[in-house]
Amino acid sequence: MTAFLRLLFRNRLAALGAAVLALILALVILAPLLPLPDPDATATAERFARPFSPGHLLGTDHLGRDLLARLVHGTRMSLAIGLAAALAAAVLGSAIGIVAGYAGGRTDNIIMRAIDMLMAFPYILLALAIVAALGPGLLNALIAVAAVNIPFFARNIRGITVGLAGREFIDAARLAGMGHGRIILSELLPNVLPVIVIGVSTTVGWMILETAGLSFLGLGSQPPQADLGSMLGEARAALITAPHTSVVPGLMIFLIVMSINLLGDGVRDALDPRLKSGALSRPRATTRVDRKGPVPDAPAKGLLDLQSLETQFHVGPRVYRAVNQVSLHVGRGECLGIIGESGSGKSVTALSVTGLVASPPGVVTGGAVRYEGEDLLGMPYGRLRAIRGEKIAYIFQDPLATLHPLYRIGAQMAEAIQVHHRVGAKEAEGRALELLRAVRIPNPESRLRNYPHEMSGGMRQRVGIAMALANDPEVLIADEPTTALDVTVQAQILALLDELRRERGLAIVFITHDFGVVAQLCDRVAVMYAGRIVEQGPTAEILARPAHPYTARLIACVPELGGGKRELAAIPGLPPVVDKLPPGCAFAPRCDRARPDCRAGEIALAGSGRHDVRCLHPEVTP
Amino acid sequence: MAGYILKRLLSAIPVILGITVIVFLIMAMIPGDPATAILGSYATPENVEKLNRDLGLDKPLAQRYVIWLGNMLTGDFGRSFSLNRPVLDEILDRFSATLILAGTAFVLCSLIGILAGAISAARQYSLADKAITFVVLIGISVPSFFLGMMMILLFAVKLRWLPVSGMYAIYGGGDLPDLLAHLAMPALALAAVATGVVARLSRSAMLEVLRQDYIRTARAKGVPEGRVVYGHALRAAMVSIIPVLGIQAGFVLSGAVYIEMVFQWPGVGRMLVDAILKRDILLVQGGVVFVSACYVLFNIAVDVAQGLLDPRIKT
């Protein structure tokens, strides 16, 4: 609770709202003690006195009544009526909601239908109808506003009650012989009460405004009794000659509603964990680059080179080192596998290449990514965009989430071409058709008109591949493209990728957590753990003689077809969270070969250069 | 699509019936004798009895409802005693004025709100975002009737740019420029709150969408950022914005009651308030049913628009 309040008041606007509201409340509560004149004492000789005139700080109204006194009493009335309406709506609405949710079945159905009917009205028409029936008056306005807001509470509370009614503690209470009334009062009510309280706090401002509105129309408080709305309504006749009589109550309503809104926004933000994690901030067009050290020199060779790449996530005071000093290279026609458990940093490595890591919170803090010798990280947006999809293309894991749900397949593929080449719509579509054929999608003509949700997972993944190939890229980065698919489809897609590599000389970076897939496709493989490469080398050699204990355990996870009965060895424990890594080997806590020196300090990636390992006590020496 | 529209229209029938039941029941709560209320306490017992018979008030409740509903279906909403003309004629006359006012405000709040929200999200934490957020906060906090009054003071009295009130100038007006001049202030004042709500929602919907995987895909394809934000993201965000537009239409229609009072706009809202103050029950009853039914139909149009935008909705 104190943490919540601290968070709330760190939000300066919310604090301001709270302060203004507290001031108004204090004014209203202390009203009887303040030395104010009688708010209803008329003095026609002094009508429409301007503000700051002697004896009347805010002036007087059309009957010569002191505006300050009327303002304080009107505010008191408006707040009281608004609060009463909110409470009445909360009590009745919640009662209906709890009963409907608890009873379920037909009772629930009938009640909620009726509530839906009430919600079909534009709210004020319902309020007007009620006032029309009961007659104008403050109490009737209160009843009308409360009645109109009952559906809001009924629906919310019913939703929560339905969730609670199926839970064990309600069954237990029922078995213990408690009556329905007692279950509702002693078991359900305490659980929904916080929601009711939040509901009241978010609607009270609204209800103050609504009752003031009805009074403004002349349907609420009747003279001489005054609330802010009727003050404003009465002042309207003299709007042009004596504007201050309108401004004073109008500003007060504005202040009350605004301070409640500010406070409400603050509460909502403080309760929303997404705000703190940065999940509500807009990701930039490219990942932010903030390199602490010098940019490494360009190497002589290579199509795509990652040099000591460091990508971090900065979330509040925490720094997650998702990618730590990763160096990789891939040449034309070559396939490099990156393997590791989820959270090992392999996807972030791949996304860092063309600046696709969401930022904030992602930041590239060091190293370089070179495509044909040119550093992509420091490149201006326009040039990087020209490379994205044209030279370096991606295939993502889950094509249902990664294809735009509202565009047809054909349009999405055509767009991939048209953002890089000036071609007409017809031509782009023709090319899209060709691509769909190339990835062996049956009936490609009709598929172009499909939306992603109308296709199967395998078909969608083929569309993803086809789209990546749209501009005949040089490098294809495939981020677990087969994980969501069944085995036969997976095999087909791997075969397809392999064929493309051989035919088009494509360089492929293949990210996976499955050594079986790596064995089929990759020439070389890099094993990642906790943001670092722990072993790299030719696939065949690593499969035959894994040096790092982690690699060995990963390989042991792959079931062998025809390999007879063998215990599949899961790796005990979980990969570490990369914000507070211990010194030394990150795998040490899960490693049965670990010795004290493993935890002592930095361990270098060492070996022949063809096959390297980051381990002091490897299974074999590479 | 046609089948979908038909299905939605059929689903409106029970809702509109429900509305008539609720309105009827509320009106039946009127304490005392409506005929006395209408004729005043000095009416002779014969006159009260005659009016009761004319209004069908001597029959049981259910029967009265069926008669009332049947009459409405044939276009007979009864006769307004305060205006001495058929209720439906009066409603239709007034409703066009309300439609012009609320329709303009609705278009304004949708366009400005969505655009402001999208810009605000696209340039999160920029000066533009802060300015929009600030204006939005004021917009949703100021009561529309107060805003309208302040606009009159500024634009009509002080600057003399626009007419103070009414729908047309009394002398020589009546053409489109005249209507637009009269419409500007009330439409803006009416749109203010809804614009704020739509802008807020659009901003958060955009921020939500901009985090989605398909936005990353668009970037990976090399789609220029402007098109990513105002094409891919905005289109996806519309899926959650459109239902809110439907809800806001109800708020605009409600706010029109206040705005019509402030600007002397000859619409249904002012008619209803006058009718309530004069205890012209038939006029209130007819007006509420008519406008609510129109609102239900409008919401069906919103659903259909949603179905057109989002192919995942089964149409």
Interface of A with B in 482-501 (CB under 8 A): none
Q: What distance in Å separates the CA atoms of residue B75 and residue A21, rounded to the nearest whole number?
A: 51
User: Interhelix angle for B176-210 vs B127-141, to 10°?
Assistant: 120
* Residues A303-357 pLDDT 10s: 899 999 999 998 878 888 899 999 999 998 899 999 988 888 899 999 999 999 9
Comparing C-alpha atoms, which of A519, A515, A535 is closest to residue A587? Answer: A535
Q: Does B22 touch chain A (CB under 8 A)?
A: yes
pLDDT per residue rounded down to tens, chain B (315 residues): 788 889 888 988 999 999 999 999 888 877 666 666 667 667 777 877 777 777 667 778 888 889 889 988 998 888 888 888 999 999 999 999 999 999 999 999 999 999 999 999 999 888 999 999 999 999 989 999 999 999 999 998 889 898 888 888 777 767 888 889 899 999 999 999 999 999 999 999 999 999 899 999 999 999 999 999 999 999 999 999 999 999 899 999 999 999 999 999 999 999 999 998 888 888 999 999 999 999 999 999 998 999 888 888 876
Q: Please, what is the average pLDDT of chain A?
A: 87
pLDDT exceeds 60 at position A567: no
Percent of residues, chain A, with pLDDT higher than 70? 96
Angle at the Cα of A183 from the Cα atoms of A181 and A189, rounded to 5 degrees: 95
User: Interhelix angle for B87-122 vs B176-210, to 10°?
Assistant: 40
In chain B, domain spans:
2-87, 95-309
* Residues A450-504 pLDDT 10s: 999 999 888 898 899 899 989 989 999 998 887 767 788 788 888 888 888 888 8
- Cβ separation of A129 and B19 shorter than 8 Å? no
Interface of A with B in 407-446 (CB under 8 A): 407, 415-416, 419-420
Q: What distance in Å separates the CA atoms of residue B37 and residue A366, rounded to the nearest whole number?
A: 83
Residue B306 contacts residue B238 (beta carbons within 8 Å): no
CATH of B95-309, one of 3.30.1700.10, 1.10.150.670, 3.20.20.70, 1.10.3720.10: 1.10.3720.10
Q: What is the pLDDT of residue A185?
A: 86
For CA atoms A282, A284, A287, A288, give the dihedral sign.
Answer: negative
Residues 6+ apart with CB under 8 A from B80: B86, B87, B90, B275, B280, B282, B283
The whole-number average pLDDT for the span A4-24 is 84
Q: Does A110 touch chain B (CB under 8 A)?
A: no
Buried b (16+ CB within 10 A) or exposed e, A585-617: bbbbebbebbeeebeeeebebebeeebbbbbbe
Q: What distance in Å separates the CA atoms of residue B23 and residue A456, rounded to the nearest whole number?
A: 50
- Cβ separation of A388 and B221 shorter than 8 Å? yes
- Cβ separation of A132 and B18 shorter than 8 Å? no
Residue A358 contacts residue B211 (beta carbons within 8 Å): yes
Q: What is the pLDDT of residue B38?
A: 67
Q: What distance in Å separates the CA atoms of residue A501 and residue A333, rounded to the nearest whole number?
A: 6
- Torsion angle of C-alpha atoms A309, A315, A318, A323, degrees rounded to 10: -20
pTM: 0.87
Q: Does B253 touch chain A (CB under 8 A)?
A: yes
Comparing C-alpha atoms, which of A73, A69, A45, A44 is closest to residue A56? Answer: A69
Strand, helix or coil at A465?
helix
Q: How far is CA B99 from CA A337, A473, B141, B265, in A?
A: 64, 55, 25, 11
Residue B121 contacts residue A207 (beta carbons within 8 Å): no
**DSSP class per residue in A596-612:** GGGGTS----EESSSSE
Give me the interface pTM, i.e. the ipTM: 0.89
Q: Residue B196 belongs to what H/E stretch?
A: helix B176-210
In Å, how far is B46's CA from the nearest CA of chain A? 24
Q: Which of B149, B214, B299 sits opposite A250 (nearest CB)?
A: B149
* Residues A113-155 pLDDT 10s: 889 888 888 888 999 999 988 888 999 999 999 999 999 999 9
Structure tokens that stand for A310 in this block: 């460091």
Angle at the Cα of A117 from the Cα atoms of B309 and B81, rounded to 5 degrees: 115
Q: Which of A133, A416, A453 sits opposite B29 (nearest CB)?
A: A133
**DSSP class per residue in B115-183:** HHHHHHHHTTTSHHHHHHHHHHHHHHHS-HHHHHHHHIIIIIIIS--S-SSSSS-TTT--SHHHHHHHH
Q: What is the pLDDT of residue A407?
A: 93
Structure tokens that stand for A360 in this block: 């904030």
* Residues A40-72 pLDDT 10s: 877 777 778 788 877 777 888 888 788 888 899
Task: Report which residue type is found at A72.
Answer: V
Q: Residue A214 belongs to what H/E stretch?
A: helix A189-216
Fold of A13-24+68-276: MetI-like fold (1.10.3720)
Q: What is the pLDDT of residue B315?
A: 60
Residues 6+ apart with CB under 8 A from A269: A11, A14, A275
pLDDT exceeds 60 at position A156: yes
Q: How far is CA A391 from CA A383, A418, A608, B12, in A?
A: 11, 14, 32, 54
